[in-house]
Amino acid sequence: METVAVVKPNQKVIMDMEYLKLITFICFLGTIQGDLIKCPSYGSKTIALEGEHVRIRCKLCNASTPLVLGDLRTNGFRINWFKDISNGDYMELLGKTGRITFEGTSLGFWPAFVNDTGRYSCSVSNRTYNIMSAVTTLNVQKNKGFCRGNIYPFSQYIGKSITLPCPKLEDYSNKEDNIKWLKDCKDNVHTGTKYVIRKVEERSAGKYLCLLSLKNGGIYYNVTRMLKLTTKESVEPFKPKLIYPVEEQIELKLGEEREFECKAIVGYKMNYYCLLYWDFTNSGNDTVYESPERFLLTSFE
């Protein structure tokens, strides 16, 4: 039978410290479980090259952070990793095998192989609770050679500036200053988190490789991202110029019918649409009737 404690107003209650800790702990866990309801069921996807290092994080939900998971660990929770082997069955990963390691709240591969491709998930548990994360799909692609990885496309107008980031390196924030940038995989053009081109030229187009080297067990492993920059011809905006009529005064006889052609320079052919319309001011006493076809939309082939 469940026991209910009744506390009268103004009554002092003395609780055992361990019981107070337990209440706080359960409340903290309840908050996390509430966040889990909002977690996306589709999970995330990570792409890596065979022979390179890759790291996937334990993500309970969007609101969770490695700091929160670290707090859970200090409160007696354990983080386990699993790989989907077939038909929804999962195999627990022991980690710390030399090649596959647990790194805080992340799972590291030193290096990744093609057969590591699969669906991974983590669980945060203690003797009472077991919280599963959304699935992370790891896709390890066969390495076809230097500078032949997955491409992140970027484009910019000639004469403008652009900042090229090294995509998806959030897990290496304390190492980003060591990132090397190679142009067309041969010329070392920069070292740092981002590569800034202050004035894009036609020759700026090409492939850019950002490379981060990490040491594990006395061996250096690469983490690379491939970017492709395409340049576009810079086109200055052109203001349309009216040619005819320009402050023309035309007299018509009563009942006379006449057509007037509106002519304007609209600029380069990239201006696909031009809006031409007539306006009038009725300063006389007579009624002026306007045609319903006031707006004319012209397109250029």
- Sorting pLDDT into bands at 50, 70 and 90, what band is 61? low
This prediction's pTM: 0.64
SS (H, E, C) 139-195: EEECCCCCCCCCEEEEEEECCCCEEEECCCCHHHCCCHHHCEEEECCCEEEEECCEE
Q: Is the pLDDT of residue 294 over 60?
A: no
Other Cβ atoms less than 10 A from the Cβ of 181: the count is 19
Upstream peptide bond of 245 is cis (omega within 30 degrees of 0): yes
Of 122-131, 154-163, 288-297, the least confident: 288-297
CA–CA separation, 52 vs 110, rounded Å?
Answer: 7
Q: Which residue has the higher pLDDT, 230 or 241?
A: 230
Of 161-170, 188-197, 236-245, the least confident: 236-245
CA nearest neighbour of 61 among 30, 29, 36, 32: 36
Of 160-164, 182-186, 240-244, 271-275, the least confident: 271-275
- Residue 44: both structure tokens together: 């995330």
CA–CA separation, 10 vs 28, rounded Å?
Answer: 27
Report all structural domains of the chain as residue ranges with CATH numbers, in order of start.
20-141 (2.60.40.10), 151-232 (2.60.40.10), 236-301 (no CATH)
